[in-house]
A and B are shown apart, each in its own frame.
Chain A
Amino acid sequence: MRTARKVLLGLLAVGVVAGVTTIPSGDAYADVQKVRSEVEGADGKDYWVENNLDKAAEAAGERPEYMVVWAGDENIADTVVPDVKNLPGSLANPVDEVRDALPGPDFMAVVDVTKGSPSYGKVVNTATVGPLVENEPHHMQYSWRKGDKIYAGGLYSAATYVFDVSALPELKLSGISLPSQTLCGSVPDAYWVLNDGTAYGTYMGGPVVPGPCTYSHGEVRTGNGFAGTPGEVVRFGPDGRKLVEAPAATTTPEDPTQCLTMPALGQPSCANPHGIQVREDLDTMVTSDYAEPRSIILDPVKAPSPYLRRPTVRTWDISDLNNPRVKSVSYLPTGPRSDGRDPLHNENRAAMETTVTNLPGHKGAFAQTMQGGALFYTPDITVPEPEWKEIYDLSAAVKELDPKAGDNGGPSSNGGWLQTSPDDTTLYHAIIGRKPGALGADDPGTAGGVIALDIEKLVEAGDDARCSIDTEAEIAGEGAESDCPTLKGHQTINPGKVAGGPHWGALDNLELGADGFYHQTDQPERLATANYFVARTGTDGDHRVCLVDIAKDGSLALDEDFKDEVTGDTCISFNRESWPHGSFGNAKPHSMLFVTNDADIK
């Protein structure tokens, strides 16, 4: 018996050792099919998207709905050590670590978001782009409709990619626009796809070369260079071809005190368009100016001027889609919080996003300010001089997201995504939250999340809208007028974690109909959030993408079933070791869209 035990023990040891050397290590993506799609760029080089389709996770026997997430590689070195050497007594070769310290590709992640699917929340494809790396993937369009291409920009590469998603989960590259094709602008930000499949895109930064730049229709504006001022709007074809470059700057100087540029321009301008939305039926486009997207660190002690953040919103006449012209430049009003002592946190500071109403009878639009922490509304964007009023101070909502915030959660609450519901009853807004110390050494910061405001009364009031935040009591108490927005839903993301909320979001405008196909809906039942801003600014995020359910009454609740396939935690994390395209480590998800295969939607 004793001998038998010893023999058994010995055999066990041998078996385990043999197992180490013969059993392959677990690979989450063992069955990956690579499919590459290439186009030739204007510079003659080949640009590609390489699909890495996880065949094991592909949904079978149902019509899948996907979420595509435009994500950047975090560029952290990943050392791939063979498992045979990954033993307790082994050390990694530092030379190998250096060898592997190279940036990975940016990619479009395709996530299965089909409710009830066995692969719900799984990444079924990562479509990597190349050869450009470190694009800093940023925004796409705000929503997707059947037949639309996806337009996606790289903040640092100044490139616009156009993807064909008709055969999801596989993507194809339809085209790419390089900075040498858009000489009068740089730093692409967001896109709006028109009914004909073309798209407008905002280029927040100035012309790629300092000096005068001639736009498509002969307009000339002088800029201070790449990532400077003024920016532009570009219209792209579905093949990525540039159709037109239109100046965002007017021919007359803008307010020199509020429109600082560095280096100084002879003609001041706040034209750094970021958010963009369009009402083709009204021949009107709205863009919001965020900031001059560069910082010049000539004096590391001195903070960049607050006046590099813009307080302006522009309306454009797009009656000729190929000749958009700036119709008005509106300076958002300051509110009751502004006292001149802290201009960076005036309510109108840094107009990052704007969103239009959608229904034919409505002509209004909203705007928000990232540092100002306020929401604005104009009832009619078609008039020559739209009148914008502050209609909500985020202090009222932030105290619901973070009870510790008190009544001063609005300033520097870092709001981002702003979107009206298709039926114009709800305004959704993503809020990162305030970083500690933003308002002073004693400022503990605030948590963030996503909110839903009831805007039905305001929008329905039309030109008679009365809401205006103009008293201190309205800062944290919502507006006094009866048509002012009210909070009807909120969902904290990362409760208790300051500045831990999302920067971006997307509504799921797709609905599975009784016919078994997807259709557009004006009653979205869920939205997605992404916790990433721009790492280089110091506001990074935890790289999680969450789904939030929207109830009939407008209340919001985190979708607890949407879990990370690696950790099992709610929300999917883009901080993971392996992807279908390889072990490239963490990634930065900036924006996303709900999309289906073209054959699955009517």
Chain B
Amino acid sequence: MVVLPLAPLLAVAGGGTASAADTASPTSAARAAAALGEQAGAFAVGLRVALLVGTALVAGIALVSAVLSVRGPRPAGKPGRGLTVTVRVAAGVVAVAAETVHLTGDVSVLGTVSQVVAALAAAALVGTRWAALPGVALAGLLAVQLGSTRTGLPFVLDAAYAVGAILLVGAAATAATTPASRPPTVRVATSRTATRANAEAPTVSFAAVPGESVRRGGPRLGAVAIAGGLLATVAGLAQLVLSGPETSHDLLGSPYGLASLAAVVLAALAVVGVGIVVVVVVVRAGTFRARSAVPTALTAPDRRSSRAEGTKRAGAVPSRGSEVLRISAVLGSVGVAATGVLAALPPPGPAPVPGQPLLRTVASGGETLAVLVAPMRPGPNLVHVSGTYPAQGAAVSAAAPAAHHPTTPTATATATATVAAGDTPPVPITARDGAGGGWAVVDLPAGTGVLTVSVGTGSATVPVDTGSADATPVLATPADTGGAAAARPRAAVGTTLAGADGPECASALLGDLAGQRAATTATEVTGCPSDALSAADADALRATVRSITERGVDTIRLVSDDSPRSVAAAELVRETVPDAEITDRVGQDSALLVVSGWAPARRTLDDASARALETPTHLGGTYLAPWLLTPGVVTATASSVLPLTFDPQDTPPRRYAGAVAASFPGETPSTAGYLAWARHGGVRPAERPTLFGAAPVDVPMTSTGEHHTGVPNPASWFPGGTVVPVSAPLP
């Protein structure tokens, strides 16, 4: 499947640039958070749609009728029965829907009263110039409500769409349901008699001879409807360019894309419909003049004329024009409904860009999952999926994941959870030690395509674009800018991501994505934290091991692995405290110092904690490298100490933890993620590390059935515990 990036095409079509969409739309993390957040229910959406469509109809008809009464022949006439019924029904729908929303939701009382009163007033005043007042008020309310989820230019476009749709719907409905005037010659003559009957005669519809209307100062409803429809079409198109979807995959394959498309297409179709009628009327008018005949083919029979005559005329020539106009009004109304539904739909994800991590959400089996794909290059790519999954090789059903939003649907993954690139065999999604969520490594070919994510009984696709296979490998600076790292080929990034330290690298990427601002230029994946030992981490480790020995602990059990960072860290530890006994054995009084990656650290702490329940173990303390501050690691032990250059209790780290959990349910914070996130906000870590203690704190309550019923914050640095400074900045 070919995935077309629409933003550049649409931007060019709209006279803009490709970056216009990027700068105006929210970041991929914000979009994911919105898609994963609490969505409006079907009942609320139904009420909203009824309210918006009803408001558009009432406002449109009220405004058009007011203008007609002002600009038309004096005295103004009453609207036809069809129009009256339409506007009253619409006003009733508005009143009922608004009151229902008020009773079932938390909305402004004054706003509700305003909308109800304005709608009822408009229905009562329709046909008079006073209808303009509630009509304008309703138009304003519709504009605000239609764009209630947007700000800035997108809000303006929604408001413009509302105004355009109001004019389109109002003019088309008025023209379709208001009986045509008598032939101009007759009407002009009788209107001067000022009888009550004539005073209440229907106003001029655009279906009457346009030339005559113009000559007599009557409104040109056709032009109004077409102008409104064009405004709505252009506004909808501009919104599509500005707010997405950005790919054909999303435009045609997501509810948001289809609704966006419907909003534009329906308005355009309505314009076409009205235009056809206008053209036909003009042509028929010419024929009428030539034949001195009444253009009954496009006008409804005048009820106030002789019923027999009306029946004869209507029967002679079916009012297809009115039907087309009705359809146009309906199309315009459905367009409003489509635009109204947009706000309740998950926003589309970003388009894949070669070399950049892709964060999107997928709906699978009725549940919404977050998916991260990196590095988005040909070859091995790491796919991270939210939810809880069995460990590799296990064949058990997984439990639901912890979600940031209590109402977020939870994934029920099973051993059948897989991800597949194109037609390649699916790869199981499995858990990894020390990290949450599911993980899979898939080989992506060069170019565009889709990943199929299957969880439980459902599956969904994610567009991917890895770029050209022969892209020149570029030397890149490691993600950690500590400076101690050597440059590595870009191709190695995929290898690291696919390896044991992939989850930490993914956490850094998610932190980077969560920290990006709307105007941020996305960056390529250039390295992973485990590629090298940064100067800051080296400094922190030196200070920590000195602190351990200064506390009188002379034996350190050192746990490392074979990553470049860990190897360097272990070497540094040995060099820093040459007199200390560095061992790999478990002991009672020794300190445990872990400088490995997440997974080995988790396993080490699990073993030590289990042993400590039976016998005193590592009474010299458990110390972890700075990069091991992540719940998947620190919660494995009753108490640990880490040297950090930031306080997890401070506002920025908490803000980061909340942001990353919001955009990827169950994703827990990490040092690597926070440092990547903080760079976007200009938050600088402290110059000197401080020791922090991490421990569970959970004042025991009553008994078996009552304990552990609290719900720790999943976005916490230590769910069910705390991380606090326990030293002054280390020298």
Contact = CB atoms under 8 A, between A and B. Distances in A.
A434 B708 CA distance: 16
A438 B622 CA distance: 36
A43 B476 CA distance: 38
A411 B443 CA distance: 61
A93 B701 contact: no
Nearest to B655: A102
Given A16-B110, A85-B148, A186-B693, A211 B619 contact: yes
B639 A228 contact: yes
Given A10-B134, A75-B713, A539-B706, A298 B613 contact: yes
A98 B137 contact: no
Most A-side CB within 10 Å, residue of B102, B110, B621, B727: B110
Nearest to B108: A86
Contact of A438 (B130, B691, B702): B702
A6 B613 contact: no
Contacts of A309: 700
B584 interface: no
A13 B649 contact: no
A540 B709 CA distance: 10
A224 to B, nearest CB: 7
B407 to A, nearest CB: 11
Contacts of A42: 728
Contacts of B693: 179, 186, 208-209, 225-226
Interface string A296-322: 111010011000110000000000000
Contacts of B130: 6-7, 10
Interface residues of A, number: 102
A438 B651 contact: no
A210 B699 contact: no
A135 to B, nearest CB: 9
A134 B649 CA distance: 8
Interface string A86-100: 111111111101100
A262 B638 contact: yes
Interface string A424-462: 000000000011011100000000000000000000000
Nearest to B591: A211
Contact of B615 (A90, A94, A264): A264
Contacts of B112: 87-88
A86 to B, nearest CB: 5
A35 interface: no
Interface in A115-131: 131
A88 B110 contact: no
Given A209-B621, A228-B695, A295 B708 contact: yes
Given A7-B130, A88-B98, A298-B609, A345 B703 contact: yes
Interface stretch (B114-122, B307-315, B386-394, B448-456): B114-122
Given A43-B728, A93-B34, A535-B710, A10 B125 contact: yes
B77 to A, nearest CB: 15
A13 B133 contact: yes
Contacts of A303: 703-704, 707
Most A-side CB within 10 Å, residue of B111, B133, B650, B658: B111
Most A-side CB within 10 Å, residue of B30, B38, B638, B710: B638
B652 to A, nearest CB: 10
Interface string B12-37: 00000000000000100011011101
Contacts, number: 351
B343 interface: yes
A158 B717 CA distance: 16
Most B-side CB within 10 Å, residue of A227, A412, A435: A227
Given A83-B108, A94-B38, A538-B701, A88 B101 contact: yes
Nearest to B713: A75
Contact of B702 (A89, A212, A296, A435): A435
B317 to A, nearest CB: 37
Nearest to B622: A210
Given A10-B121, A89-B145, A297-B696, A538 B710 contact: yes
A539 B616 CA distance: 32
A182 B415 CA distance: 49
Interface string A199-232: 0000001101111100000000010111110000
A352 B276 CA distance: 84
A517 interface: no
Interface in B187-226: none
Given A102-B654, A131-B650, A263-B638, A87 B613 contact: no
B365 interface: no
A417 B357 CA distance: 54
A228 B721 CA distance: 12
B37 A86 contact: no
Contacts of B120: 9, 13
Contact of B706 (A43, A183, A538): A538
Contact of A16 (B118, B617, B640, B651): B118
A25 B108 CA distance: 9
Interface in B705-731: 705-710, 712-713, 720-722, 724-729
A304 B651 CA distance: 33
A371 B704 CA distance: 12
A296 B609 contact: yes
Contacts of A17: 114, 117-118, 134, 137, 140-141
A294 B696 contact: yes
Nearest to B100: A88
Most B-side CB within 10 Å, residue of A10, A178, A183, A290: A10
B707 A538 contact: yes
B323 to A, nearest CB: 30
B533 interface: no
A153 B114 CA distance: 49
Contacts of A566: none
Interface string B651-664: 10011001100110
B634 to A, nearest CB: 11
B481 interface: no
Contacts of B33: 94-95, 98
Nearest to B589: A211
A344 interface: yes
Interface in B213-258: none
Contact of B620 (A92, A211, A304, A537): A211
B417 interface: no
A179 B706 contact: no
B107 A264 contact: no
A42 B609 CA distance: 33
Contact of B128 (A6, A11, A132): A6
A228 B616 CA distance: 14
A370 B696 CA distance: 21
A155 B638 contact: no
B658 A414 contact: no
B296 interface: no
B148 A87 contact: yes
Nearest to B640: A225
B613 A264 contact: yes
A298 B610 contact: yes
Interface string B577-607: 0000000000010010000000000000000
A94 B37 contact: yes
A224 B639 contact: yes
A309 B701 CA distance: 9
A264 B614 CA distance: 7
Contacts of B704: 303
Interface in A1-37: 3, 6-7, 9-14, 16-17, 19-20, 23, 25
Interface in A33-87: 42-43, 75, 83-87
11 contacts: A10-B131, A13-B137, A89-B142, A92-B149, A95-B30, A208-B726, A225-B638, A263-B638, A296-B638, A438-B705, A536-B712
Given A158-B722, A298-B613, A414-B701, 12 more contacts: A6-B130, A13-B118, A14-B133, A17-B118, A19-B114, A88-B102, A89-B48, A134-B654, A179-B724, A264-B615, A296-B613, A536-B720
User: Which 5 pairs across A and B sit closest by C-beta, in order of nearness?
Assistant: A225-B639, A538-B709, A263-B612, A90-B148, A89-B145
